[in-house]
Amino acid sequence: MTADSVGTPSFGGWGRLEGWRRFGISAMPSQQTPKKKIRILIADHEGVFRLGLKKLFGLEDDLRVVAQAQGAAQAVVLAKEFRPDVVFVQADIARPNPGDLFAEIARAVADTKIVVTASQLSEEESLKYVEGGASGVILKTADPAQFVKCARRVMQGEVWLGKKEVAQMAKRLGDVQGQQVRPRDTLTNREKTIISYLMQGWRNREIARHLSITEQTVKNHLRTVYDKLGVSDRLELVLYAIHQRLELPPTGAPPPPSAKQPASNADLEPRGAGRS
């Protein structure tokens, strides 16, 4: 035995091989299946923050930054190209309608997890991001180790929130426990706005242009509305809105001239059509 290997038998040449076998130890290292790397996209206006986060994740064997974006549009394009597992999105990029951006990213790559980053956020804002489709919210001032944990936890299907936000969410659940939630109450403001335009005869293309979103995003919202309300197409949705007397926000604009034309087949796409 050598002085620097107390308690470990030392053998030379083939004698070493036989010696290890005698102690029940394999001479060849075990072949371990490498961990699947979590692919990450960082979307943030601040280059320094992006660089710091990339270096942080680069220290971990199971985390890999595959792309960086400076804005919402670029984030969607890169998400489609690199297909990340987790997207860290700056709150300023997601505003003012985070649901639209989340829907675009989800459309580009299914099952991706979205985490919102911000210098500061109220508890109410944090919950709104999660309710809008994010898997978590983390402050930029958080300990670096928390970002690593966050990436891994959301990939396991968990929601990442601070203690105050978790308490607030628990309170909300407690307040509504035992109460029956009507389907109409689950509609978001954006969904109600789209229904309002639809009630005036607007087509998907016209709604998209007026709201500065893509026509596909309008279709995604409509499919979500169909599922929530249990209707199959635009006609049923209009009848539902009339019979249930939905409270819809005013559009503030008259219907475009083309609204009088018959709707296209794409506009009349029933629930479930076009889904993969």
**pLDDT < 70 positions in the chain:** 1-35, 162-181, 252-276
Q: State the pLDDT at residue 147.
A: 95
Q: State the pLDDT at residue 80.
A: 94
Q: Looking at domain 38-166, which of 3.40.50.2300, 3.40.50.720, 3.40.50.2000, 3.30.70.1290 is its CATH number?
A: 3.40.50.2300
Q: State the pLDDT at residue 95.
A: 83
pLDDT tens for 214-263 read 999 999 999 989 988 889 898 899 888 888 888 888 776 655 555 444 44
| DSSP states of the chain | --TTSTTS----HHHHHHHHHHTT--SSPP-PPPPPPEEEEEE-S-HHHHHHHHHHHHTSTTEEEEEEESSHHHHHHHHHHH--SEEEEEHHHH-S-HHHHHHHHHHHSTT-EEEEEES---HHHHHHHHHTT-SEEEETTS-HHHHHHHHHHHHTT--B--HHHHHHHHHHHHHHTTPPPPGGGG--HHHHHHHHHHHTT--HHHHHHHHTS-HHHHHHHHHHHHHHHT--SHHHHHHHHHHTT-------SPPPGGGGSPPPTTTTPPTTTT--
Class of domain 183-260 as given by CATH: mainly alpha
Q: State the pLDDT at residue 126.
A: 83
Q: State the pLDDT at residue 180.
A: 56
Q: State the pLDDT at residue 185.
A: 80
Domain spans in the chain, listed from the N-terminal domain onward:
38-166, 183-260
> Does residue 112 contact residue 87 with C-beta atoms inside 8 Å?
yes
Q: State the pLDDT at residue 16.
A: 45
> Does residue 164 contact residue 122 with C-beta atoms inside 8 Å?
no
Q: State the pLDDT at residue 32.
A: 52
